[in-house]
Every structure is written in structure tokens, then in C-alpha cells.
Structure 1
Amino acid sequence: MYNLLISAGAAVAVFLIVSLAAGFQYWWAALLGAMIVFTACFVLIARSVTKKLEVLMEGAMKDIQAQRFEKGIRDLKSALRFAKWQIYVESQINSSIGMVYFVRREFATAFPYLEKGFFKNWVTMGMLGVTYMKRNKHDKMKETFDKAIMATPKESLLYALYAYCLNEIGENVKACEIAAKGLAKLPGDENLKLNLELLREGKKMKMKGYGEMWLQFHLESLAVLQKQQMAAMGGRRRIIRK
């Protein structure tokens, strides 16, 4: 990582200059100066790289939102040139690219980017977990979700998604444990409470409470959620009489 190397190089140079100029008996002053220079260089370079990335990423996201997907993805890929400058830059960009492909249902293309994604991006980690489930790599699915929960321990949908996937592969007991774990972290969460009850009763989870955030994982279609909602209303639309 260039930022670290440049900052460390500047710090070593300051340490040697101060030590030689003042004498090695003042090594503590040289060390203090070196630490100050290292921190200042690291922060300045990080800010410069972050600012350039923000401009590039903002433009890419605008293109993607306007459904100019190819241009947006090209811009995201071009941002990978900053990967050697800053820690986690490469994984964050890979997460963004993987998410775009996954949302577009280009799952095979999304997979390698999601695999190299940022572990603190719980949405893309969830997408990776879903991909592993669909590929029957259940151990990798669990490993991915466990890592995501460790990094983001207070996200209701993440627990629900993990429980849903576990239930899909026939591990109802483990699914109940994960939903209960989420409820312990998020007491009073109605979505987790409802789904834990459904899991314990051996029924299908109801995820419509999570809205569009749930739909992006492509485990249920909007039509299915609307059908569930209609069933909850008695199977017919309300008639408003004048």
C-alpha cells in the first residue's frame, strides 16, 4: 500500500535527520517527530485519495441509477487504480461492482466480485451468502454470514436473511438460533420476532416487512410478496363504497 510506504519512508527520514542533527541521546525527540510526520502524511494522502474516489464513485452511481449500467461499471472498475494507495479500497469497489451485477441478476458475473468484496458491507456479504446457498456450498454460506454478523451485529435483515437461507437448506433449528440471536441484539424487532415464531411453528418466513431491501436478494419476487399480502387481507381487495 503506497500510502503506508510513503508515510513510513517520510517518518524514517525525519527520525534519522533529527537523530543525526541533535545526537542519538535525543532519540525520543526523533521518534516523536517521526510519529507526527507519519500520521500527517498518512492522513493527507488518505484524504486526497478518498476525495478522488468519492468524485468517481458518485458519478458511477448516478450512471447506474440512470440505468447506464455499462458506463457506471466501467467507472467503478477504473477506480481500482487507487487500490494500491489505500487499504480496503479494492474490496469496497469490488463490493459495489458485485452488487450491481447481482441486482441485475447476472449472478455468475457478480460472484467473483462479491468474493473479493468488503467484509463490512453486510448487503454484499448477504448476496455472497445467497450465492453460496444456491451453489450448494453450505459451509461457505455459513462462514460468510457469520463473518458478516460479526462485522455488522445490529442489522435485522442480515439475521433474517441468514435464518431464511438456513431454513431453505433444511436447518430449521439453526435458523431459529440465528433469529433468536438477532432478537437478543435487537430487542423488540417486530420482523425478527414474527419470523422466529414462524420458524418455531415450521412455517415459511414472511419477509415483506423488509420491503425493497429484501427484494434485492432475489429469493422472492414482488408478486409473491403481494400474494402474501393479499392472503393476509383475506384474499380480496377492499371495496371502497361511496
Structure 2
Amino acid sequence: MYNFLISGGVALAVIAILIVTGLSWWWAVLIGMLLFAGAFLLISRLIMKKVMAIMETANRDLQGQRVEKAIRELKDALAYSKWQMYVEGQINSQIGMVYYLKRDFSNAFPYLEKSFPKNWVAMGMLAISYMKRNKRDKMKETFEKAVQWSGKESLLWSLYAYCWTECDDLGQAKQVLERGLKKLPGDEKLKASLDALQEGKKMKMKGYGEMWLQFHLERQSVIMKQQAAAMGGMKRRIVRR
């Protein structure tokens, strides 16, 4: 990582100069450590400012339906991964999510595999990709890593449980929902899904809206019905006004 090497080089050079000029070694080391911290923080801020600017531009392109342009911009931002820790994982998460959302699952997978663990949406998409490849152990491992970092996300727990139902393992699904309720006591969506499974019914995911649909686990016919119902409700509200 260039940032670490540059900051460390500056600190070591200053320490050597101060010791040669007669300053006691512990004062030299203290000053060197302060310089290292300052240089590291300054470079980190500069790099992250550049990365965030690229990601904001890519986001505007996505909103304007310029998907391929956004992907190219995000890939260009990978050049900064050599400078700053965690940049590579964050950018790979974004690229993987863009490919996944456009249903280009084969291109999404290698980027999602290098996702930043704190990005629970990307981790959820990766876990689903493993599930569809019949790699249940990898699916479970990915979800466990995600809930470790993002245990307060209701949809993440529901998604984890839902994937177990897709694997015909209702026992695991119920256990996951019970764990989720321990993290989020009183969560109505998790409780409704757990009640549904205990009654032999399907999980209730509709309440999560667009956030749920982005994972592409609903059948297209169901999505079309939901969109038609939403449009119908919108028309009724317009007529009343």
C-alpha cells in the first residue's frame, strides 16, 4: 500500500535526521510517529476524496441509465486501491452490484467475491450467487460474515432465511430468523416471516419493497403483478385529486 510506504518512509527519514543532529532517540521516534500519523491521514483523505468523486459521477451516470459508462469509471477507480486500504473491496462491491442489478450475473460474480464485508447488499448478492451454484457452505459463510458486520439490518436476516427456504431447509431458516429477532427484538417483518414458516407458509418479503426486489429472487410474474398493483393505486390517487 503506497500510503503506508510513503508515510513510513517520511517518518524514518525524519527520525534518522533528528538522531544524527543530536536529539535523543525517544524524542526522535515520537516525532517520527506523529509525522507518520499525520502523513497517513492526509494521504488517506486525498485518496478517498478522489475515489468518492468518481463514485458520485458513476452514480449520476447510473441514474441517467448510462450503465456501461458508470462501470468503466468504477473500474478506473481501482487504480487507487494500491494507495488506500479497503478501497479495492468497496469499488469491487459497487461494480458487482451494478452487474447484478442488470442481471449480468456471470460478470457480477468475480467482483462480488472481492466485496467489502461491510457492504451487506453486495454480500447478500454474493451469497445468492453461491446458492445458485449449489455451494451452500460458501453461501452460509458469506451470510455469516455479513451479519457479523451488519447485524441490525432486518432485510439481511430475512434474505439469509429466505435462501435457506430455497435450499429446502426450513429448520435453518427458522433458526436464522430467531437469531435476527434477538438482534432486532420486536421487528415485525422478521416475526411475520417466522410465524409464516411455523404455519407452513412462505416467508413474507413484500414489505421490504424495492430493497427486496433488487436481489432478483422473486419470479418476474410476481414483480409484474406488484408493479401493476402499485400503478393502479397511483391512478386511483390521481383520480381522487
Q: TM-score, normalised by structure 2?
A: 0.91
Deviation at 1:171, TM superposition (A): 1.4
Q: Distance in 1 between matches of 2:114 and 2:227?
A: 37
State whether structure 2 residue 163 is matched by structure 1 residue 161: no
State whether structure 2 residue 80 is matched by structure 1 residue 95: no
Write the mapping of 1:76-87 to structure 2, written as runs, cut at 5 A. 76-87=74-85
Identity %: 59
Gap change, CA 1:46 and 1:111, over 3 Å in 2: same
Gap change, CA 1:193 and 1:226, over 3 Å in 2: farther
Gap change, CA 1:116 and 1:28, over 3 Å in 2: same
Q: Distance in 2 between matches of 1:134 and 1:70?
A: 25
Q: Distance in 2 between matches of 1:191 and 1:218?
A: 19
Deviation at 1:170, TM superposition (A): 1.4
Is the 1:132–1:141 contact (alpha carbons within 8 Å) kept by the matching residues of 2? yes
Q: Deviations over 1:3-55 (max 9, x none)?
A: 011111111112212222224xx222111101110011001101111111111
Unpaired stretches in structure 2, ≥5 consecutive residues: 229-235
Q: Distance in 2 between matches of 1:228 and 1:54?
A: 35
Gap change, CA 1:85 and 1:49, over 3 Å in 2: same
Q: How many residues align?
A: 232
Gap change, CA 1:181 and 1:7, over 3 Å in 2: same
Q: Distance in 2 between matches of 1:184 and 1:62?
A: 38
Write the mapping of 1:196-215 to structure 2, written as runs, cut at 5 A. 196-215=194-213
Aligned structure 1 segments of 4 or more residues deviating by more than 6 angstroms: none
Q: Distance in 1 between matches of 2:184 and 2:32?
A: 45
Partner of 1:4: 4
Given residue 48 of structure 1, which amino acid in structure 2 is its aligned partner?
Answer: L
Gap change, CA 1:226 and 1:176, over 3 Å in 2: farther
Partner of 1:235: none
Q: What is the aligned-residue RMSD (CA, Å)?
A: 2.1
Unpaired stretches in structure 1, ≥5 consecutive residues: 231-237
Gap change, CA 1:111 and 1:161, over 3 Å in 2: same
Q: TM-score, normalised by structure 1?
A: 0.91
Deviation at 1:204, TM superposition (A): 0.8
Deviation at 1:64, TM superposition (A): 1.0
Q: Distance in 2 between matches of 1:43 and 1:35?
A: 12
Q: Secondary structure at the match of 1:83?
A: helix
